[in-house]
Each structure stands twice: as C-alpha cells, then as structure tokens.
Amino acid sequence: MTGMPYLSLAIWVPIVGGLVVLATGSDRNAPLARVIALVTAIAGLLVAIPLYQGFDTTTSSMQFVELAPWIPYFNINYYLGVDGISMLFVLLNSFITVIVVIAGWEVIQQRVSQYMAAFLIMSGLMNGIFSALDGILFYVFFEASLIPMYLIIGIWGGPNRVYAAIKFFLYTLLGSLLMLVALIYLFLESGGSFNILDWHKLPLAMGVQVAVFVAFLLSFAVKVPMWPVHTWLPDAHVEAPTGGSVVLAAIALKLGAYGFLRFSLPIAPDASQAMAPLIITLSLIAVVYIGFVALVQTDMKKLVAYSSIAHMGFVTLGFFIFNPLGIEGALVQMISHGFISGAMFLCIGVLYDRVHSRNIADYGGVVNTMPKFAAFFMLFAMANAGLPGTSGFIGEFMVVLGSVQYNFWVAFAAATTLITGAAYTLWMYKRVVFGDVANDHVAELEDIGAREFAFLAVLAICVLAMGLYPKPVTDVLHTSVNELLRHVAVSKL
C-alpha cells in the first residue's frame, strides 16, 4: 500500500458514517441523522476526488493499489485498485450519494436514520465493487449491495413494495450464484489465486471460455438489465422511493455493465467474440423494442425505467462491437445516464411529493405554476432524448459511429433510438408540462424551493458540461480501453 488509501476511504467513510447515522436511533433525532448523513456523503465525495486529480492517463495499469491479506488460508486478499474504466464510477457513485441525501432531506419523515444509513452503506459497498481486484472481495461487495437496496424498496417503497423488493432480490441473487461457480473454477484453474488480473492471463480452452462467459453473462445481464431478464426493473423503479430509483438507475445498473469489462471480455476473449452476435442482437432488441414499450407507458416512472433499459442496451452494444469508439462511447453513455436518469427520477419525485401521483394523465399545464421546475425538466428531457449539446448525445453518437465501423445495419437499428427516445420523452413532457392547467392539484402546485433548485442545478451543470466538453472523461478512458482491446486481440480501427 502506497500513499493515502483513497480507495479504502471511499469505501469505508460512507459505511462507517452510515453506521453512525444508524446509531442516532429514533426519529426524534432525525435532524441530527440528516446532518451526519450529509457530512458523511460530502466527506465520501471529497476523499474520492483525489482519485481523479492524481490519475495518470498515460498508463493502463491499476492505480491507487492497496493489498493486504484477508483470508490467507484461501489466498483471499483485500486487494483494491482502479484503472481508467473503473475510477470514474467511484466518483459518480460518491457524487450521486450526496445528491440523494439532499433530495431525501425533507421528503423522508419516518425511519430517517435507517433511510440515510442504507444509502451511505450502499454507496461504500458499490465503491468496493468498482475497486475490488480480488474475486471473492468483488463477490462479497456485489452481493452485499443488494441488501440496502432491498430494504430501501421494501420499507420506503410504494403499495407493492414487498413484491418489487423480493423480485429484485431473487432475480439478482439467482444470477449471481453462477458467477460464484465461475469464480471458484477460475481460482482452481489459476493454481489457487483469486487475483482478477491473474485470471486475465489464463490460457483457457474455447469450451471453457464459453462456459465461463455464460456464467458471467447470466449474472451481469440481470444487473444491466438486458432483455429478456429486465422485467424486475420497472417494478423496482415504480415502487422504490425517489432516492432508491436514482441510485438504482445511476449506479446499480452500471454494475453489470462494468462486470462485462472487468470479467467477461478479458477472461474469456475468444468466447466474447464468438458470442458477440448474440449480445448485439439482445442489445438491439432492448434499444428498439423497449423504446416502443416506453412509448405506451402511462406512469412517468415506468416510462423512464424502460428508457433506462433502452439506454443500457446501447452500452452492451458498444462493448461487443470491439472498437475504441464503441467501448468509450458506451462508458461515456454510462456516466451520462447516471446524471440524466438520476435527474429524471428526481424531477418525477418533485411532482410526486406534491401531487402523490405518477400518472401522466393527472398532470397538464405544470409550466403555469412551476416555471423553474419546467425549465430543468425540459433540459433533462432533451438530454434523455439525446439532444446535441447534452451529455445524452455524446455516448450514443460515439456508439453509433463505432457501430457503423462494425456493420451499417446494426448502426441503423441502433440509431432508431434517437427517434423513439425523442418520441416517448417529449410526449411525456408535453402532456405533463404544457397546455392549460389541467386540474386543481396542478393549480395549487408550488415551484421548487432552494434545496430542490440546488440539486437540479448541479445535475444540469453536469449534463451540459459533459455534453459540451467530454474530453476530461474520454481522456481517462482512452488508454485503458485500448489496452482492453489489445488484450482481447482485436485490431484497433
């Protein structure tokens, strides 16, 4: 271990802070719980920022490495490190945690300490997933992160929260069991090492690679979620509280996609290429078909949930066309989607807190009573539709360009999202925001306050900054993506 253990701090500051928040107990101490939660979330972001400041973009090697024995008998280590692919997600997760704590400041009135603690602990666990370089350490963080989200949906969710929470938990847990089998096999095959970087060098036979790839696929596909194992996501989003939906969309969906780049492609490169047509087909179904499914939704949250599945289809498409534009575009899309989907769910949450309805038909003419909110909502809706100048355009455009290099018709099918995405997003926005005041509920609405303005403004700045100048993000990715492609033995285009 050299220098400051920034990765350990990014993991354990939120977790320890979450336990302190939990210790504040009953809702009589809710103000104290909120303050400690906010201080902890900001501290978690501050200890993650040096990862970007000190990052060397010229090397693909793991940086900020920490290594200590954990369970020596099985050669399991506390082994952390980040490269250009994973470092940005630690930052994104830490940033979103601050937003979620602020967003839930006044909205959550019951079990406040437990609510805040669940998000902080989950934030630390997710940073562990993005940082772990030991297979078992990764698996522990991967599975443990299910528990806070399960509780968030099951306790603070909507009327069908128990059903949604159990469905979420079972889908993701069952998918992960095959991953555990693959991890144990790789441990035995590598002569007793759980080091993920050692696994990248294993000369596995093609049949073994296919089996390992399928095991990882079934785990990560559920997390993304890819079609057809996506059905848990709309239920989870609809029932989850606003903060739960934000973290689910902005961070949790990225865990499966990240797994493809850390495990599937480097450990089973030949199988990845052989299975690429299948993954590309499933991705295109998600992009095209799910886009049309979103078009017929009457619930705002469900519409944005389906749009997330379509956008994540772009991500898996970009990974498996095996060129730098595709993979970098997919990673940019993941970061961008974290900002945009989080903002969309927060906007829906702002309306829900006032009217207690997510149905599009219950709104209309919101711009007349909430002009500031309508302006923010329009920016995020345009970004969700992929408007040039917003972060939503950059990643999709890069993936489409990469797809053209791979196959014109694949690119053509993927580009239909620019039409369907605009259709379902603008259709929702028009019916909710424009027109005359639809009913008394809308007439009585109050515009966003200082707290809501603050978190929406910060996300708006992120969406515009990344859309207008994505270089700080792409520079970090470039070397690691090229090294991954070199490892998978695909010529760079």
User: Average of pLDDT values for 316-336?
Assistant: 89
Of all residues in the chain, the percent with pLDDT exceeding 70 is 99
User: Average of pLDDT values for 422-427?
Assistant: 88
CA-CA distance, 398 to 14, in Å (whole number)?
34
> 43: pLDDT confidence band, cut at 50, 70 and 90?
very high
**What is the model's pLDDT at position 464?**
92
> What phi-psi label fits residue 226: left (phi over 0), alpha (psi between -120 and 50 degrees) or beta?
beta
Give this prediction's pTM.
Answer: 0.88
- Which residue's entry shows tokens 């603070």? 156
pLDDT tens digits, 199-210: 888 888 888 888
User: Average of pLDDT values for 376-388?
Assistant: 89
pLDDT tens digits, 143-153: 888 888 888 88
> 105: pLDDT confidence band, cut at 50, 70 and 90?
confident
Q: Supply 298's token pair.
A: 């009457």
CA-CA distance, 335 to 328, in Å (whole number)?
11
pLDDT for residue 14 is more than 50: yes
Nearest to 287 by CA among 317, 261, 257, 260: 317
CB atoms within 10 A of CB 132: 25
pLDDT tens digits, 52-96: 888 888 888 888 888 888 888 888 888 899 988 889 999 999 999
Q: Supply 194's token pair.
A: 């759980």
CB proximity list for 25: less than 8 A, separation 6 or greater: 113
